Amino acid sequence: MSSLIATVAIAAPIDKPLSYLVPDSLRESARVGVRLRVPLGRRQAVGYLLALAEGDPAGLKPVAEVLDAAPLFAPELVPFFTRAAEYYGHPLGEVIRTALPAGLSGRGAEIAILREKLYTATDLPGQPSSALQKEVLALVRAAGQLTVSELRAHVAAPYGALRRLVELGYLEESETERRRDPFLDLPVTPDASATPTAEQAAVLARLEPALSGGEFAPFLLHGVTGSGKTEIYLRAIDQILAQGRRALVLVPEIALTPQLVGRFRARFHGGRASIAVLHSGLSDGERYDAWRAIARGEVQIVIGARSAVFAPLDKLGIIVVDEEHEASYKQGEGFRYHARDLALLRGQMAYATVLLGSATPAVTTFQRAQSGQTGYLELRGRVLSRELPQIELVDLAATPFGEHLSAPLLTALEENLTRGEQSLLLLNRRGFAPYLLCADCGATFRCPNCEITLTFHRQNRLLRCHYCDYQQTPPELCPNCNGGNIHPEGIGTERLESELAERFPEARIARMDRDTTARKGAHQSLMERMTGREIDILVGTQMVAKGHDFHGVTLVGVVNADATLNFPDFRSAERTFALLTQVAGRAGRGELPGRVIIQTRNPDHYALACAASHDYRGFYEQEAAFRQELGYPPFGHLVNLVLSGNDGERVAAAAQELVSALFQAAGEVEVLGPAPCPLAKLRGKSRIQILLKSPTRPSLRRLLARLPALRKKIPAGVALAVDVDPVDML
């Protein structure tokens, strides 16, 4: 006799889904996409229901409980999760756990569902006597039904009027679920879309067949900063919505979300499209409500950071990946996926258009476009025929040692202040100073967990590790020699802000980094102050380079362009070129022309020279030649294996044993290592890496297929992390 069998992915490091018997009492509630409580050995675990089929129940344990009243994802997403798990060599249950909103990995409905009053107009004719009641009734009649929060957008205090209208029989009161939406109460200024430029019109004409074709169509949209890429996104999405399909928009940083949501709400106002936001900066309740609304089909546009690629959208017609080159699209821990690459996979499986936008495309993305694997769309000019900023490289060899700002940059800042124009300074290191130094014995102060120097934050008198967040109060005397001559070395954004305040006491100076934007709403407040011309000089880390549209900024200064260039990573030149080009693009976006000054000790490096001349293709040709010679992506494929644990000797022994096993099965795959990671100790754990390098992906996949068996031989206390297509090699 056959029974109902559930295929379940356990939210744990288990390689394959398991089968369970669905008891008759749970048949109706067991649906693909719900969480289940199931027996696993001597304990119970949470799993995700992937499939149901009739089969032989012999030897199967029964499902203990169904945890959700409605599915959290549709059956159509299961193949996507499965392909993602296979590609990245990660357990399927952990992939799904990563995809779902926080709070949905455990025992059940941990997040409360909020409800609010819903008012529906009845057929009762006539009008009430009160002016406020008339206004409220007219609003409800026009819409058919409205919630209290929707009414409050038009009437400040409608409560008394609503009660009376219900008593009089004009309205009926019921309850509905209230979605926690941080953007719901923000004002919307309707946006009348501007006439496209000739270049934009040509790009849209190229896109049109793909948008209406219903087939997988990937494109790189390569447009200089300020060329109007967002307008392309908006118009392409408008066309998709007209077909009854949905849109997914990914942004690299949570901080950019409010700005983009504002543009989208302005364009699709008045009920034209419901927009949901998904990112880790939301509360658990906000993210849970957005996820459920998307799963119910109530949302047409989803905007979010990396994890939004898993949004349970059906009828997906387009995926936009804005600033596709950004490293923040790669997850750094746990399930180490790249959202851009998963966007391409999801678009392929949904027969959707995928639009990758950037002024500085990743070398791998541009190479795919050059080889014809993706379509190529280009916007060469800025909107309104605005000129790209003039970029000047300043050799710091001519600047006295210890001085952080060169004479040309100081002069330019002074001139900008005199003219009442805004300036932006990039320094990609937060804190006051990178470290404290004892001048008597040369000792520095290091993190006991990570063995890197502690950054000095003067504002709150702390030494802090930016990796594990360890902190301590700076000592008065050196613990090494008992000397009292301790002083900060180097410069961070906090120190730069302080030095600028001393040099330009009348200037209004602000700082944008993780320290000043940690509080909710702080980043948006800084943006509004910049837009309102309440800040003369904005100092910041790479946060200031990403997507901001400050029309008053006419000067951009890069304090130290060599910081990213000297990074121990083969992508350091690419990251430097992208960062410089992106931050330079913040200048001259308004009526006045822009100017950029880049300080460096390597003015002849091709990444800097090409950035100064706005020459992406020139940079790509030199970078691609370097990569091809050494077999680095896109001309080869990498997997980074990182072993870590509290016992350094045990980690080293496990790494050596794993390398020996890999060598025996390597084939054409080059096995490099084992070697200590650049950050050899992190959060108290010793770290050793093994790099797998192959000219072809299939040979690498064959070797990776052996990892589950090899993983079982790794001793207790040693963890193995598999990073396919690594972006950060630290």
Known binding positions for Zn(2+)? 438, 441, 447, 450, 465, 468, 478, 481
Query: Is the separation of the CB atoms in 424 and 550 below 8 Å?
Result: yes
Alpha helices by DSSP H, listed for 100-227, are: 131-143, 148-152, 159-168, 198-213
Could you please report the per-residue DSSP string of 59-83? TPPBP-EE--SS-SS-GGGHHHHHH
Alpha carbon dihedral 366, 368, 373, 376, in 10-degree steps, equals 0
Query: Which run of H or of E encompasses 51?
Result: strand 43-55
Query: Which run of H or of E encompasses 278?
Result: strand 275-278
* Closest to 294 (Cα-Cα) out of 454, 179, 149: 179
Tally: H helices and E strands in the chain? 21, 30
Q: List the binding residues.
A: 438, 441, 447, 450, 465, 468, 478, 481
The amino acid that residue 354 corresponds to is V
* Separation CA 183–CA 279 (nearest Å): 13
Tokens 């967002």 belong to: 230
Query: Which run of H or of E encompasses 527?
Result: helix 522-531
Count Cβ neighbours within 10 Å for each residue of 13-51 and write b for 16 or more, e otherwise. Answer: ebeebbbbbbeeebeebbebbbbbbbebeeeebbbbbbe
* Separation CA 336–CA 724 (nearest Å): 7
Q: Structure tokens of 610?
A: 């090409």
Burial class, 427, CB count within 10 angstroms (exposed 0-12 / middle 13-18 / buried 19+): buried
Cβ neighbours, 10 Å, residue 94: 19
Half-sphere exposure for 182 (CA within 13 Å, toward CB) = 20
The amino acid that residue 246 corresponds to is R
For 402: left if phi > 0, alpha if psi spans -120 to 50, otherwise beta; the answer is left
Q: What is the SS3 assignment for 139? A: helix
Query: Is the separation of the CB atoms in 238 and 366 below 8 Å?
Result: no
Query: Is the separation of the CB atoms in 267 and 191 below 8 Å?
Result: yes
Query: Is the separation of the CB atoms in 692 and 662 below 8 Å?
Result: yes
DSSP state letter for 453: B
* Separation CA 326–CA 728 (nearest Å): 12
Cα 493 to Cα 77, 85, 394, 466, 540, distances in angstroms: 44, 40, 20, 14, 6
* Separation CA 254–CA 275 (nearest Å): 16
